[in-house]
Amino acid sequence: MKIRQLMFVSAFGVSALAAHAQVLTGWAQMPAATFADGPTSGQFAGANPYGTNVPPYVGQQPVQGFSGVLPGPRRNTFEFLVDNGFGGYSNSADALLRSYTLKINWKTRRGGAASVTPVDRQTGRTRAAFDSRTRITLNDADKRLTLPIQADFEHYYNDPSKPLVDPTIRAGRLLTGADFDVESFRRDAQGHLWFGDEFGPYLIKTDASGKVLRAQIPLPGVWSPEHQDVRAGTATANLGGSGGFEGMALNKSGNRLYTLLEKTVTGDTAKTLRINEFDLATEAYTGWQVFYPLAADGTAIGDMVAIDDTRFIVIERNGGTNTNGTAPFKKLYLVDITGLASGATVQKTELVDLMALADPDDLNGDGSTVFTLPYVTIENVLVLDRWTLLVANDNNFPYGGGRALASDNTEFLRIRLPQPLARR
């Protein structure tokens, strides 16, 4: 794909490519080794095969693993959700579930810093570091959840052979990556936050500060290996690990959430993923369910965002990178559910190929006028306007191997579409 695209540039010129393709109009990155204060993390994480950024991180939490994005308080500021920490239940008990607010200092054709700046999550004003003013930390201070969490234990994983749970986690009943794997979040009209989890899969409702407001909400008929009923021996898992709510969209009217699983439920058609409708007024699933079909080269989804009440953008990918021998497949699709009956399979249209973006100004300085995003997981998409999308990767810190045999940075892309997203 890249060779063919470069041939097209050579034959027709950069301006011709930019006129007929998705164009990278802004780019920035955050270094892999970006940290915030907090309890020591990474005590259970595997060794980094690249030999750098080796865990544990004493008195620190990585500001990494971005898996969802919301608009921030000012222009070019955004709130990014951190996922469960180090990739699974068994290695993330000391990783706090947080979101961080930052400003993207875009590099454009006119120049720019290509960096990010921590900002106050309420005012958008610059902060010197990713401190408490820049973030929320999920917590169950009011004991609303109906499952045990790490804060309930003396030792991590309730195992006397493991280290003691950090006192700040216990005192604040802070949620960790061994409690939930949050991969998506949305803000409702009342300012409450809804998080999509992979371990249940569950929906988790919090106030604006991250305090849980009610018991976790399971998806009827679906159980992952980490579901509380599976752990209790009263249910059998029918969804693979880390297969829950990777994507979750809030419709334009603000009354429905649409959850999208990352993996196929046992018994469903191969390579189809469930989309379920959730009513925010009743705080219950409506029973309406449709199926998203993965492309031939696709193995998982990364995010889902609403354009309006019936149209969505979905990130689809495989695990390919520049270094692991698998050709990267990273695309955005437009999905329309208008008039679909429950049980139907959605139709989708390719919107953006993240491995073939026009980059006429070589914003990332790699010497090419075609930009590629070859990371394992691309998990953030946001509609900025009818013409423009924000996309960012989850860098799976401290691991990586996306562009090179090293910990991955987090990259932020501003993409202009060749045609505007039509209004409805």
Query: Locate tokens 């249910």: which residue?
Result: 235
pLDDT score recorded for residue 76: 98
pLDDT, averaged across the chain: 94
pLDDT at 356 over 80: yes
* pLDDT band with cut points at 50, 70 and 90 for residue 262: very high
Average pLDDT over residues 74-103: 97
Q: Could you state, in order of their start, the residue ranges of all structural domains in the chain?
A: 34-357+372-410
* pLDDT band with cut points at 50, 70 and 90 for residue 8: very low
CA-wise closest residue to 366 among 2, 19, 31: 2
CA-wise closest residue to 295 among 327, 248, 267, 332: 332
* pLDDT band with cut points at 50, 70 and 90 for residue 16: very low
In angstroms, the Cα distances linking 89 to 60, 63, 93, 180, 314 are 19, 19, 7, 8, 26
pLDDT at 94 over 50: yes
Which percentage of the chain shows pLDDT scores above 70? 95
pLDDT at 3 over 90: no
Which are the contacts of 359, defined by CB distance < 8 A and separation ≥ 6?
A: 23, 24, 368, 369, 370, 371
For residue 102, the surrounding DSSP H or E stretch is strand 98-105
C-alpha 48/C-alpha 397 separation (Å) is: 9
C-alpha 24/C-alpha 18 separation (Å) is: 9
pLDDT score recorded for residue 107: 98
Please count the residues of the chain.
Answer: 424
* pLDDT band with cut points at 50, 70 and 90 for residue 10: very low
User: What architecture is domain 34-357+372-410?
Assistant: 6 Propeller (2.120)
Average pLDDT over residues 199-217: 98
CA-wise closest residue to 304 among 184, 187, 422, 216: 184
C-alpha 304/C-alpha 129 separation (Å) is: 30
Burial class (CB in 10 A: 0-12, 13-18, 19+), 162: middle
Q: Are 93 and 11 in contact (CB under 8 A)?
A: no
* pLDDT band with cut points at 50, 70 and 90 for residue 422: confident
Tens of pLDDT, residue by residue over 238-256, are: 999 999 999 999 999 999 9
pLDDT at 11 over 60: no
CA-wise closest residue to 411 among 6, 24, 19, 4: 24
* pLDDT band with cut points at 50, 70 and 90 for residue 423: confident
pLDDT at 12 over 90: no
* pLDDT band with cut points at 50, 70 and 90 for residue 119: very high
Tokens of 88: 């699974």
Tokens of 120: 């106050």
C-alpha 79/C-alpha 354 separation (Å) is: 22
Tens of pLDDT, residue by residue over 302-343, are: 999 999 999 999 999 999 999 999 999 999 999 999 999 999
* pLDDT band with cut points at 50, 70 and 90 for residue 5: very low
Q: Are 416 and 25 in contact (CB under 8 A)?
A: yes
Q: Are 342 and 287 in contact (CB under 8 A)?
A: yes
Chain-centroid distance of CA 278 in Å reads: 20
Strand partners, 220: none
CA-wise closest residue to 139 among 110, 182, 103: 182
Residue 17, φ and ψ in degrees, nearest 5: -60, -45
Q: Are 340 and 362 in contact (CB under 8 A)?
A: no
Which percentage of the chain shows pLDDT scores above 90? 93
The pTM of this model reads 0.94
CA-wise closest residue to 322 among 405, 236, 424: 405
pLDDT score recorded for residue 424: 67
Longest dimension (CA), the chain: 67
Strand partners, 345: 291
Residue 386, φ and ψ in degrees, nearest 5: -60, -25
Q: Are 323 and 337 in contact (CB under 8 A)?
A: no
Higher pLDDT, residue 1 or 375:
375
pLDDT score recorded for residue 20: 54
Sign of CA dihedral 253, 254, 255, 257: positive
Average pLDDT over residues 113-128: 98
